[in-house]
Amino acid sequence: MMFFKRMNKQESANSKRAVEAGFIIYMLLTAINYFCYLFTEKTFFSPTLIFWSGLFVFFGYSLFISGKEKSK
């Protein structure tokens, strides 16, 4: 029993690019938060904001790439 359809090569490549963008955002926000904590002993971003921003970037970028590919 399959719950989701299989991705074709283009969808798989788009998903990989979106995962990379989401991961970069996670690492960037975590680094900013860490260095801010080192200098001020207060966090700049909440963990919840970091989590949701990474997911938002992943799904938003994935939808953007898919929409761009379909419009061609």
Structural domain total, the chain: 1
Establish if 16 belongs to a structural domain: yes
Establish if 4 belongs to a structural domain: no
Establish if 24 belongs to a structural domain: yes
Predicted TM-score (pTM) of the model is 0.79
Instruction: Write the pLDDT tens digit of every residue in 53-70.
Output: 999 999 999 999 988 888
Establish if 5 belongs to a structural domain: no
- Which residue positions in the chain have pLDDT lower than 70? 1
- Using a pLDDT cut of 90, give the percent of the chain over it: 54
**Domain range for residue 63?**
12-71
HEC per residue, the chain: CCCCCCCCHHHHHHHHHHHHHHHHHHHHHHHHHHHHHHHHCCCCCCHHHHHHHHHHHHHHHHHHHHHHHHHC
Give the model's pLDDT for residue 70. 81
Give the model's pLDDT for residue 52. 94
Give the model's pLDDT for residue 69. 81
